[in-house]
Each structure stands twice: as C-alpha cells, then as structure tokens.
Amino acid sequence: MSHVPQSFYEVPAQRLARRLLGCVLVRQLGSLQLRGRIVETEAYVGVQDAGCHSFSGRRTPRNDAMYAKAGTAYVYFTYGMHYCMNVVAGKQEEPVAVLLRALEPLHESGSAELRAMQAARGPAAKRARDLCNGPGKLCQALGIDIACNRLDLCRGETMWIEPRATPATPKVLVGPRIGLGTMEPRWRDAPLRFGLASEEARPFLSKPFAGEHEENSRAPKPKPRARRKR
C-alpha cells in the first residue's frame, strides 16, 4: 500500500481538488481491492462558501468530519438515496473539503473486481464508464457508506488514496460546480469543479465541461477570424 501522506492534503480545497486528479482511490472489501482513478472533483472552500455544508460556521453531527484533520474521509447521506464522499483539506478545525465526483475503474473487463462493482450498481451500469460517473454512483460501486465517515485516508486499511502514476501536472478542465442552480451567482458560477482533460478520462466524467476553461493546456489558441471588408 502506498498511501498519500497527510501533508498532501494540508492545502486549500481548490488546490487539493486539482492534486487529487489522477490519484487512485482504493477500497478494500474482503479479499477484493477495488480501484478507481479520480477524474473529477469539486472544491468546497469553507464558512464563506454558500454551497458548503459548513457555510456560516455550521457544525452538526452530519458535517462534523469536515472539522477533522486533513486526509479524513467525510461521507454523508443525501436526498434519502445515496452517499457522497469528500476528502477533508486544509487545517484541522478549518471546514473545507473536496467532493469526489467521478472515477475511472482500473480493472479489466470480466475481472472479479469489475463484476463486484457492476453487481453493486445494478442494471443501470451497463458499461464501465457508467459505474462511477457521479458522486453517488462511485460510492455505491465501491461500497462506501456512513461506516466510512471519518476514516483516516493516510493510514486506512479499508480505504485510502494512492498517488498518481506520473508526477507530471495533468491538463485540467475547470467549470462551475453541479447542482447549485438556486445559489447566488457568486457561488453558483464559481470555477470550483475540476476534471482530467485527457481523451481517456473524458468518457468517465459525470458531466461534460464543454465550453469551459481548460488549464495547463499548451495547445495554441485559435486565431480570431478577420472581418470581411464591405
């Protein structure tokens, strides 16, 4: 096991949201080790963030894990339907976190691991790309529930995060977070959602980033068309 160290998580949520892209979430379920590459995240930046569970300093039994040390799993039940997993960032008592929105399963077709993920997701997940393309879906596929809340991802034996295979900074897509349609524009439109921009990763995103900003891109920008003279 190659756990990401706690120092990796001790950064602002926006920075951690980028850092986590390309890392691997590992879930040990009995003899099966389920693995998925993190391809999409959202940052929730604390008490000033109207979209964050800790907005205005709110602290309840449900969100108390957000106040724990960096590298703690914050898992909650939502809409009476599914679980979502966050990774706590920043400093202890600073309630900021990163939501894991999508994973790319790292198992071959027909493997026991992939079959277990498909069985957990049910008939709605007919393709590998449908298994973990959403925060609730990835928790269902990997058996992440409220028992995983407050797990220490730096030392965990049933769930942890491993560093990305290559240290190079990946190309990243950036856009507004999902599901904040009624929020004030400042937070509804804040560029706090991040995704891997590679062609291999795009099919596994929960939603496309079409027309949104792309960071770390070395591709030349198209030149504006010259206006025709009349």
CA atoms within 13 A on the CB side of 90: 22
Is the pLDDT reported for residue 45 higher than 70?
yes
Residue 161's beta-bridge partner residues? Answer: 25
| Residue 28 exposed, middle or buried by CB count within 10 Å (0-12, 13-18, 19+) | middle
Residue 48 in any domain: the answer is yes
Token pair, residue 84, equals 């979502």
- Tell me if 181 sits within 8 A of 52, measured CB to CB: no
Is the pLDDT reported for residue 228 higher than 80?
no
Residue 21 in any domain: the answer is yes
Tell me the CATH number at 44.
Answer: 3.10.300.10
Mean per-residue pLDDT for 179-195? 94
Is the pLDDT reported for residue 230 higher than 50?
no
DSSP reduced 3-state for 65: helix
Is the pLDDT reported for residue 66 higher than 80?
yes
- Write the single-letter amino acid at 159: M
More confident residue, 214 or 53: 53
Is the pLDDT reported for residue 95 higher than 90?
yes
Residue 42's beta-bridge partner residues? Answer: 99, 193
Range of the domain at 50: 6-215
Length of the chain: 230
Q: What is the model's pLDDT at position 81?
A: 86
Residue 222 in any domain: the answer is no
Residue 229 in any domain: the answer is no
Domain count, the chain: 1
Give the pLDDT band (50/70/90) at residue 229: very low
Q: What is the model's pLDDT at position 217?
A: 44
Q: What is the model's pLDDT at position 221?
A: 41
